Amino acid sequence: MNSPIVRDAALLIFRVVLGLVFIAHGVDKLFFPGMDDTIGQFSAWGVPQPQIFGWVVAIGELAAGTMLVIGLLATFAAGMLAVLCALSVYFVHFGNGFFVEEGGFEYTVVLCVALLMVVVFGSGRASLDGVLSRVES
């Protein structure tokens, strides 16, 4: 299982699934309840500057999720999303229990830790980062 091909395939699948989750959340915030509802929800949760953070989170999830899927600046994108997840735990989920059904932090913490795996291990060779690093060599 320590084969480079297996490792890169696993990183590719991991990165793409994780990126698609964030793309879906970003699209949802932007278009389905819409930004007015998203900003209202952020305000109700006590997020500071909900208008600014609402847009930053929605566009950040969409853009950084796309960057994860294609593997472009993936460690930067994953780091940025990990910070957004940590802020989400702090402002929204902490104090609501553990389980997601109760508004708890379990799902968000799992996403944050998964993003840290991309930061630590990179995007793999099956990514634009991997292709561009081979071109430079």
Q: What does the block give as tokens for 18? A: 């994780």
What is the percent of the chain with per-residue pLDDT over 70, rounded to a whole number? 99
User: Is the Cα dihedral 9, 118, 46, 99 positive or negative?
Assistant: positive
Question: Quick check: 72 and 65 in contact, CB under 8 A?
Answer: no
Q: Is the pLDDT of residue 1 over 80?
A: no
Count the domains in the chain: 1
Q: Identify which of 92, 83, 70, 66 has the alpha carbon closest to the alpha carbon of residue 119.
A: 83
User: Three-class SS of residue 51?
Assistant: helix
Q: Identify which of 127, 89, 134 has the alpha carbon closest to the alpha carbon of residue 108.
A: 89
End-to-end CA distance of the chain: 27
User: Three-class SS of residue 2?
Assistant: coil
**What would the mean pLDDT of 24-46 be, rounded to a whole number?**
94
Q: What's the pTM?
A: 0.91
Residue 13 neighbours by CB distance under 10 Å: 12
Domain membership of residue 92 as a residue range? 4-136
* Residues 59-86: tens digit of each pLDDT: 999 999 999 999 999 999 999 999 999 9
Question: CA 59 to CA 45: how far, in whole Å?
Answer: 19
Question: Quick check: 116 and 72 in contact, CB under 8 A?
Answer: no
